[in-house]
Amino acid sequence: MPLWHILDLMPNNASFTMAAAALKERYQKRIKTIQDIMDGKERLEYPESSSCHYQMYMQLGAISPSVRPNALKDLEREWAAPQGISVIKAPHLNSTLFMYSPNCRLTIGVKKSEGMKREKFYSKAVYYAGMAGTVAFIQVFLLVRQMEYTPTPSSVSKVSYWTIAIQVFIDSYLCMLHLTTGILVDFLFIPFVAASFFSFVLVAIFGMRYMLVIWRIQRPERRGRRNRAAAQAAAAQAAQAQATSTNATTTDGAGTATTAARPTDTMPDWMLIISLVTLYKIAISSTKVQNLMISVCAVALFSFWIPQIIRNVIRGSKKGLSLWFILGMSATRLTIPIYFYGCPDNLMGHEPTPWIWGLVAWVALQVGVLLLQDWLGPRFFVPKKYLPPIYDYHPILPAADEESGAGRAVPGGHQHGPQQDCAICMLPIDTASGAARLSSVVGSLGRLNYMLTPCGHLFHSDCLERVSVFGAQDLLLLNRGF
């Protein structure tokens, strides 16, 4: 029991005065001892221990004299039992804190540190949980729209698996973070578990399903790359073995040739464990290293459009992702980081940092490249000398003879009249013959309305790119002239 509680046990005023004088003298001695310890004049003898013993004193700052006591009481009653009455705005809280450890000779002091009441903190937590749940619901809607945008195997093959996988990883991390916070903090359980539920729906029901669809459809493509890589490696190894056959092989007593076993490409488990432990030690070493690692991880995770850009370049494809999916996912992914690192009055009390706007600019740059790939072509930023020769699906079509009405000749031997119909939708194709002859950007954009296949058939660009009846094999037969 604290010593000052003894005053409540005094039977009369005289004994109370004597007890108060004795306590005052005792506290003055303790204060002088503490001051001597801080000045280095004295040291208290404590048992040797591996831990520091702290004593803490805190005093709340005074409220402004302009706040009337009755108004402050109304505010406290409204917080305790909300009735919807009009009250004053809650005054800012500040406190002065002093902590010291006699055995470790450590002192920590904070002056006029601002804080907030528990009721206000709960209100901010509810608003944040509502925002996080709304963001997750919007992402569910955008992902469903993207799945509807790619209904066929040919359209799914344009989507990068790693772009979707990184976003699913971010959502799973947010789901576990909200769920853990709701479990550890009792009064935040309901709002944070609700936000975690929407993230769980996004990850488990839609995100993982879309990842499995992409993985299944793109599996033959990966298998073909592995087979080609294995064939090239085998050919290179055979050539090397033939060139150095006298040094690479030995013959045993029976006359059989033996070669050294090739090392496996898989990383041993102990190397993975050591790398994880090293990263953990680095992460807990200092605040600067932690901030650096957080920044690196943030840049890596918010580079989720980079795999899609690379896939567009490798395959020469575009429009694998819908415009709403690109813009909506970019905006919603940045909402929570901007709240914590850009909002001055956020839930966790983080100070605004300018690097968050660099992260926004980095995501905006990726979005700009994706949109330009859909507009100017997937390889518009790659120098032509690094590109293999590719077929031009948007050539300049020769004009028809206006007097004779003769059709235009195209590669493959087919003749096209002055107004050609699309072989898919059977609607006329605007070839923009006048503008198509121009070498300017206007002429190039005009030729994007139609596509001419190597077999000589003319289509609308949208029809040939988005048609559902053409799979990869059908399009290959079409390019070969049926």
Note whether residue 237 is domain-resident. no
Task: Give the whole-angstrom CA distance, residue 54 versus residue 42.
Answer: 17
Looking only at the bridges linking them, the beta strands covering 458-460 and 450-452 are antiparallel
Contact 187, 122 (CB under 8 A): yes
Q: Based on the domain organization, do 445 and 363 belong to the same domain?
A: no
Note whether residue 105 is domain-resident. yes
Note whether residue 381 is domain-resident. yes
Q: Based on the domain organization, do 188 and 319 belong to the same domain?
A: yes
Q: Based on the domain organization, do 138 and 22 belong to the same domain?
A: no
Looking only at the bridges linking them, the beta strands covering 93-101 and 257-258 are unpaired
Q: Based on the domain organization, do 455 and 333 belong to the same domain?
A: no
Helix, strand, or coil (residue 409):
strand
Note whether residue 75 is domain-resident. no
- Given strand 93-101, what is the order of strands in its sheet? 55-60, 93-101, 106-115
Domain boundary at 385, 410, 430, which? 385
- Helix H, strand E, coil C: the string for 73-102 is HHHHHHHHCCCCCCCCCCCCEEEEEEEEEC
Q: How many domains does the chain have?
A: 3
Note whether residue 17 is domain-resident. yes
DSSP code string of 327-339: HHHHHHHTHHHHH
| Selection from 157, 169, 260 nearest residue 208 by Cα | 169
Give me the pLDDT at residue 21, please.
Answer: 83
Q: Based on the domain organization, do 313 and 207 belong to the same domain?
A: yes
Domain boundary at 363, 385, 407, which? 385
Sign of CA dihedral 284, 183, 128, 138: positive
Q: Based on the domain organization, do 296 and 416 belong to the same domain?
A: no
Going by C-beta distance under 8 Å and a sequence separation of 6 or more, which residues neighbour residue 94? 60, 61, 112, 113, 114, 115
Please indicate, yes or no, whether the overall pTM of this predicted structure exceeds 0.85: no
Give me the pLDDT at residue 247, please.
Answer: 54
Going by C-beta distance under 8 Å and a sequence separation of 6 or more, which residues neighbour residue 21? none
Range of the domain at 395: 391-479
Q: Based on the domain organization, do 202 and 318 belong to the same domain?
A: yes
Give me the pLDDT at residue 412, please.
Answer: 45
Give me the pLDDT at residue 248, please.
Answer: 47
Q: Based on the domain organization, do 309 and 438 belong to the same domain?
A: no
Q: Based on the domain organization, do 345 and 201 belong to the same domain?
A: yes
Q: Based on the domain organization, do 98 and 142 belong to the same domain?
A: no
Q: Based on the domain organization, do 204 and 300 belong to the same domain?
A: yes
Note whether residue 441 is domain-resident. yes
Domain boundary at 385, 405, 428, which? 385
Q: What is the pLDDT along the chain (482 residues), one digit of tens a residue?
A: 566 667 766 767 777 788 788 888 888 887 887 777 777 666 655 545 556 777 887 777 777 778 888 888 888 888 778 787 888 877 777 778 778 777 776 777 777 777 667 777 888 888 898 899 999 999 999 999 999 998 888 888 889 999 999 999 899 888 988 888 888 888 788 888 888 998 898 888 898 899 999 999 888 877 777 777 777 777 777 777 777 765 544 444 444 444 444 444 444 455 556 655 666 665 566 667 767 777 888 888 899 999 999 988 888 888 889 999 999 999 999 999 999 888 887 887 777 888 899 999 999 999 999 999 988 888 888 887 777 666 677 777 765 543 333 444 444 444 444 557 887 888 888 775 444 444 444 445 566 778 887 777 888 888 877 664 344 444 444 444 43
What values do phi and psi take at 332, rounded to 5?
-70, -35
Q: How far apart are the first and last CA of the chain?
A: 95
For the record, the structure tokens of 481 come out as 């002239």
Note whether residue 233 is domain-resident. no
CB atoms within 10 A of CB 167: 23
Q: Based on the domain organization, do 46 and 134 belong to the same domain?
A: no
Note whether residue 277 is domain-resident. no
Strands (DSSP E) along 322-463, which ranges?
408-409, 415-416, 450-452, 458-460
